[in-house]
Structure 1
Amino acid sequence: MSDVDNPTSTVSDLFAIAARELRTVVRTPAVVALSVVFALTIVGVAAAGSGARGGYVPLALDLLPFVEALVPLLGFALCYRAVLSDRRTGELGVLRTFGVSRPAYVGGVFLGRSLALVAVVFGSLLVAALTVPVLSPPDPTFLAINEAADSPVAFARFTVLTVVFALSTASVALAVSAAARTARQAIALAVGLLVAFVVGVDAAAVAGLAAGRFGIDAVPFLLALSPNGAFRSLVFGVAVETGQATTPLVSLLGLGGWLAGALFVAVVAAWKPVE
Structure 2
Amino acid sequence: MNDTAHLETPPATTDWTIPQDWAHYSEQDHATWDTLFARQAKLLPGRASNAYLRGLDVLKLSKPGIPDFEELSERLMKLTGWQVVAVPGLVPDDVFFDHMANRRFVAGNFIRRPDQLDYLQEPDVFHDVFGHVPMLADPVFADYLVAYGQGGQRALSLDALKYLGRLYWYTVEFGLIAEPEGLRIYGSGIVSSFAESKFALDDASPNRIAFDLARVMRTDYRIDDFQQNYFVIPSFDELLRVTVETDFAPLYAGLKEKRDIPVGQIMPDDRVISVGTQEYAKKKAAG
TM norm structure 1: 0.29
TM norm structure 2: 0.29
Ranked by relative contact order (alpha carbons within 8 Å, sequence separation 6 or more), the top structure is 1
- Between Structure 1 and Structure 2, which shows a larger proportion of strand residues? 2
- Name which one, 1 or 2, has greater alpha-carbon Rg: 1
- Between Structure 1 and Structure 2, which shows a larger proportion of helix residues? 1
